[in-house]
């Protein structure tokens, strides 16, 4: 006996298709046949899906449904949550008006200053800015920032006395008073290669100093003893045009740094000068998302930087990286003949802050917000 496969439906259709004399009609009938086969396949697929659902474990289906409901509820809750009245982050910095701009430097004259504000209103504003960023872009990678903002009060109040950033603490960042040069190797190498350029522009500026007045663009900071001057190119994320024109090569150099913080209120770049006999009061920086880089321009003996209780000395033409959210101080214990201690200071991103977090923090802490 010989078995032979047959296709009854296909054979039946094809046996009478050639008998049709009208060609368009023949094509239409062939299309109907194919369509009928497609419907049969779709019906079989639906039946298989229904059978799979019936065979599935009921407890697994219930678990998946509950997780889906919780996820929808969370998205709704986050999207609808509105902060209470808040202060503007932009008000944390004074505008360049007649009362705020002196010697080319933006002075803080507001009780709502970024460095001085510890109110609930600031946290509300930061959370509002984070929500706005997430709606424009994405919540992806924002877990650590979201956690930091929502629990900022607890973080700042419970930190050990050795490290207490005054404004914003990003959780789960490695903490150490000093960083190795390799932490931001590219930028360190760029700065050190241009040591002579920066030094020459400083020396030109310093010639304007006299005993009778403070040259335009320089700021005198309060210290318990001695004198501490700063000349800002970028102050809290804002360029100081008049000062930048006096140091054009140094300012252009900032653009070649890959990790320079230049778009939010935590970014600064300046020349810092300590006269002999100066001691800077111990203090904390505003945040732990940055590392502060000091390039030594003039470093007499007797000068010292102490961060988190660990002393270090500057060296001319070399960069020193540290986390200024740790308690820190600097001093110049030399004599007048030694001359001032001078460093070029620039704020760089902490190496463990991810690119997505940097973009979000630039948005949240933008000077114009």
CATH of 181-354, one of 1.20.120.450, 2.60.120.330, 1.10.10.10, 3.10.450.50: 2.60.120.330
Q: What is the mean pLDDT of the chain?
A: 80
Angle at 174 between CA 173 and CA 180, to 5 degrees: 130
Closest to 164 in 3D by CA, of 283, 338, 10: 283
Task: Tokens for 293, please give them.
Answer: 């880089």
pLDDT at residue 211 in the model? 60
pLDDT digits (tens, 9 = 90+) for 149-180: 988 877 777 777 899 898 999 999 999 999 99
pLDDT, mean of residues 238-266: 95
* 74-78, 167-171, 229-233, 261-265: least confidently modelled range: 74-78
- How far, in Å, CA of 275 to CA of 273, rounded? 7
Q: Is the pLDDT of residue 27 over 70?
A: no
Closest to 288 in 3D by CA, of 127, 168, 143, 207: 168
Q: Is the pLDDT of residue 121 over 90?
A: no
pLDDT-derived band at 356, boundaries 50, 70, 90: very high
pLDDT at residue 277 in the model? 95
Q: Is the pLDDT of residue 11 over 90?
A: no
Specify the higher pLDDT residue, 81 or 93: 81
Neighbouring C-beta atoms of residue 106, cutoff 10 Å: 20
Dihedral (Cα; 20, 23, 24, 26), 10-degree rounding: 40
Distances (CA, A) of 265 to 18, 93, 208: 82, 8, 29
Q: Is the pLDDT of residue 77 over 70?
A: no
Dihedral (Cα; 124, 126, 130, 136), 10-degree rounding: 100
Query: To the nearest whole percent, how much of the chain has pLDDT over 70?
Result: 71
pLDDT-derived band at 36, boundaries 50, 70, 90: low
Is residue 236 left, alpha or beta, with left meaning phi > 0 and alpha meaning psi from -120 to 50?
left
pLDDT at residue 10 in the model? 45
Neighbouring C-beta atoms of residue 34, cutoff 10 Å: 9
Task: Tokens for 235, please give them.
Answer: 């102050």
pLDDT digits (tens, 9 = 90+) for 195-236: 999 999 999 998 887 666 788 899 999 999 999 999 999 999
Task: Tokens for 196, please give them.
Answer: 């002579």
- How far, in Å, CA of 172 to CA of 144, rounded? 8
pLDDT at residue 189 in the model? 97
The residues with which 238 forms a beta bridge, in sequence order, are 235
Q: Which residues of 137-151 are buried (b: 16+ CB within 10 A; e: fewer)?
A: eebeebebbbebbee
Most confident stretch, 33-42, 54-63, 111-120: 54-63
Closest to 203 in 3D by CA, of 246, 143, 254, 148: 246
pLDDT at residue 129 in the model? 92
The DSSP annotation for 131-185 comes to HHHHHHS-STT-HHHHHHHHTHHHHHHHS-TTB--SSB--TT----SEE-GGGGH
The residues with which 257 forms a beta bridge, in sequence order, are none
Q: Indicate whether this model's pTM tops 0.95.
A: no
pLDDT, mean of residues 19-38: 53
Question: Which long-range contacts does 211-217 make (Cβ < 8 Å, 24+ apart)?
Answer: 214/103, 215/103, 216/103, 216/104, 216/242, 217/103, 217/104, 217/105, 217/242, 217/243, 217/246
Q: Is the pLDDT of residue 29 over 90?
A: no
pLDDT at residue 293 in the model? 98
Q: What is the DSSP letter of 369?
A: -
pLDDT, mean of residues 254-283: 95
pLDDT at residue 7 in the model? 47
- How far, in Å, CA of 286 to CA of 290, rounded? 9
pLDDT at residue 297 in the model? 98
What is the domain partition of the chain in residue ranges?
181-354
pLDDT at residue 192 in the model? 97
Task: Tokens for 118, please give them.
Answer: 């510890």
Neighbouring C-beta atoms of residue 357, cutoff 10 Å: 20
CB 144 within 8 A of CB 151: no
* Cα-to-chain-centroid distance, residue 31: 60
pLDDT, mean of residues 135-149: 92
Specify the higher pLDDT residue, 33 or 304: 304
- How far, in Å, CA of 171 to CA of 145, rounded? 8
pLDDT at residue 357 in the model? 96
Q: Is the pLDDT of residue 145 over 60?
A: yes
pLDDT at residue 316 in the model? 97
What is the torsional sign of CA 338, 340, 345, 351?
Answer: positive
Specify the higher pLDDT residue, 319 or 87: 319
pLDDT at residue 80 in the model? 52
pLDDT at residue 73 in the model? 73
């Amino acid at each position: 006996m010989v078995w032979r496969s047959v296709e009854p439906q296909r054979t039946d259709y094809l046996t009478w298709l050639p008998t049709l004399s009208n060609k368009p009609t023949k094509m239409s009938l062939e299309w109907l046949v194919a369509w009928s086969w497609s419907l049969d396949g779709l019906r079989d697929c639906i039946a298989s899906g229904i059978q799979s659902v019936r065979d599935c474990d009921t407890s697994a289906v219930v678990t998946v449904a509950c997780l889906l409901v919780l996820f929808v509820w969370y998205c709704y809750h986050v999207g609808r949550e509105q902060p209470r009245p808040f202060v503007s982050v932009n008000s944390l910095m004074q505008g360049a008006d007649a009362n705020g701009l002196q010697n080319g430097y933006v002075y803080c004259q507001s009780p709502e200053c970024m460095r001085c504000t510890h109110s609930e209103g600031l946290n509300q504003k930061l959370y509002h800015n984070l929500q706005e960023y997430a709606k424009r872009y994405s919540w992806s990678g924002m877990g650590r920032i979201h956690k930091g903002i929502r629990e900022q009060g607890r973080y700042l109040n419970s930190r050990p006395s050795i490290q207490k950033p005054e404004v914003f603490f990003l959780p789960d960042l490695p903490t150490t008073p000093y960083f190795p040069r390799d932490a931001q190797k590219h930028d360190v190498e760029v700065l050190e290669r241009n040591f002579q350029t920066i030094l020459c522009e400083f020396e030109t500026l310093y010639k304007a100093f006299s005993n009778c007045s403070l040259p335009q663009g320089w700021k005198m900071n309060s210290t318990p003893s001695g004198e501490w001057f700063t000349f800002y190119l970028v102050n809290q994320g804002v360029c100081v045009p008049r000062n930048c024109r006096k140091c054009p090569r140094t300012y252009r150099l900032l653009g070649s740094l890959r990790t320079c913080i230049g778009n939010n209120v935590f970014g600064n770049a300046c020349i810092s000068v300590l006269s002999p006999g100066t001691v800077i009061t111990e203090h904390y920086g505003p945040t732990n998302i940055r590392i502060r880089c000091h390039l030594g321009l003039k470093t007499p003996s007797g000068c010292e930087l102490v961060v988190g209780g660990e002393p270090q000395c500057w060296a001319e033409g070399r960069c020193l990286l540290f986390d200024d959210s740790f308690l820190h101080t600097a001093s110049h214990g030399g004599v007048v003949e030694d001359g001032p201690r001078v460093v070029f200071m620039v704020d760089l991103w902490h190496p463990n802050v991810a690119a997505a977090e940097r973009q979000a923090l630039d948005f949240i802490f933008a000077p114009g917000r």
